[in-house]
Amino acid sequence: MLPPDRRGNRSIITPGLIRPHFSLWLIWLGGKNFHLIHPSADIENAVQQSVRSAFEYQGQKCSALSRLYVPASLWSVGFKDQLLEATASIKVGPPENFQNFMGPVMYTVSPAFLCYVF
């Protein structure tokens, strides 16, 4: 177990053969959910799923995305711009309005964090 300030700061990648042409990678992230975007990924879909994972249920679920690894080749050809656009377009409001993606938060510190993100 790593101390909290060192979790995920240094990935430990262990290649091991599990099937022909596939390798197993073990990455220590301290229990954090991550997306590792492959260079061949569909950018629009990867952005959509990353935003959903990070902000569904106001990001207050144990599986909320907290680390995103994107190859420089994708970051520079639209991933960053699409991610910023998708995040900026999130609608926040009462849960009774189904047009809203995010509603109230359950923890008093959460609003300050969300203001920092947005």
Q: What is the pLDDT of residues 37-73, one digit of tens each?
A: 999 999 999 999 999 988 887 777 777 888 899 999 9
83: Cβ contacts below 8 Å, ≥ 6 apart: 47, 50, 51
Whether the CB-CB separation of 27 and 12 falls below 8 Å is answered with: yes
Q: Tell me which range, 24-38, 51-65, 81-95, 96-110, is most confidently predicted by mean pLDDT.
A: 81-95
Q: Which fold has domain 40-117?
A: Aldehyde Dehydrogenase; Chain A, domain 2 (3.40.309)
Instruction: Give 48 or 3, the one with higher predicted confidence.
Output: 48
30: Cβ contacts below 8 Å, ≥ 6 apart: 2, 4, 7, 8
- Every domain of the chain with CATH number 3.40.309.10 lies at 40-117
118: Cβ contacts below 8 Å, ≥ 6 apart: 87, 88, 90
What is the C-alpha to C-alpha distance for residues 101 and 93, in angstroms, rounded to an integer? 8
Q: Any idea what the Cα angle at residue 36 is, between residues 26 and 15, rounded to 5°?
A: 30
Q: What's the predicted TM-score (pTM) here?
A: 0.64
